[in-house]
Amino acid sequence: MHPSIHSFASTVAIVTGGSSGIGLAVSTALAAHGAKVVINGRDEAKLDRAAEAIQARAAEPDSVAVLAGDISEPATGARLAELAKQRFGAVDVLINNAGCFAPQSFLEHTEADFDQYTNVITKGSFFAAQGAARAMIESGGGAIVNVGSMWADRAIGATPSSAYSAAKAGVHALTRNLAIELAGFGIRVNAVAPAVVETPIYSGFMSEDEVRDVLPTFGSMHPLGRNGIPADIVPAILFLASQSAGWITGSVLAVDGGVLAGSPA
């Protein structure tokens, strides 16, 4: 039998965008189930606070390391893998979670907007995976889980997201390509595709009052009748990262309240 999906003892994981939202939730869950975790983001003080919160729930002492850096720079992905090896001895799991999101009309998008989405989401995932995969090959395999998006497969008029959607579609394509290229090294590559998940990312383009008043109105877009929360996404990520998913690679798992299945009446 496979071990429980909740057993990550002797596992070393890297989580990008690990200081808030889905990244913080999955980092906390991994550490709580025995993993050593390296978290990445741009804000060192925020990372340090997150590390304290993760360690407070961790199963083992000295379970968290942090690396502040821009994930869109290829060197950051390489540095993450090196830090994981130096502190914890290996890289077994990578969660490519870092992202940015702010709905904007296609006709108003600038080159800078486009580059930000592409650099953080697509390029960041690409080179973080490259650094992790090189380390995984050294130790005989591993698992990469990319956080994609429902928006990669479905356009939503209320949230114009052309550049974001294109970047996330790149992550879905990357998932399938890396699954094929890395299978021979014992590295599985999968993705989750969430719909609206209530995380701090929405505070980047809405006021606190707007988040409180507007965000719940998106609940009806989901056939299951509500927005997601990070705790809805974490179990899917843990499953794909675990040996329970040992015969799954190249899959993009919708975790979206039913959005991709169809529209509610």
pLDDT in tens, 105-150: 999 999 999 999 999 999 999 999 999 999 999 999 999 999 999 9
User: Could you tell me if residue 262 is inside a domain?
Assistant: no
Q: What is the pLDDT of residue 127?
A: 98
Is the pTM of the predicted complex or chain greater than 0.85?
A: yes
Beta bridge partners of 192: 147, 253
* Torsion angles phi and psi, residue 49, rounded to 5: -65, -40
- Residue written as token pair 């650094």: 131
| Exposure of 250 in the CB half-sphere (CA atoms within 13 A) | 10
Indicate the angle between helix axes 44-57 and 21-32, nearest 10 degrees: 40
- Note the residue count of the chain: 265
Residue 36 within a domain: yes
Catalytic residue numbers, as ranges: 164
- Name the range with the highest mean pLDDT among 98-102, 135-139, 202-206: 135-139
Q: Specify the number of domains making up the chain.
A: 1
Write the pLDDT tens digit of every residue in 239-253: 999 999 999 999 999
Q: Which CATH number goes with the domain that contains 241?
A: 3.40.50.720
Instruction: Spell out the long-range contacts of 86-89 with Cβ–Cβ below 8 A and sequence spacing 24 or more.
Output: 87/36, 87/38, 88/12, 88/36, 88/38, 89/12
Residue 7 belongs to a domain: no
Position 186 in a domain: yes
Query: What is the domain extent for residue 201?
Result: 12-256
State both tokens at 22. 């889905």
Tokens encoding 205: 């383009």
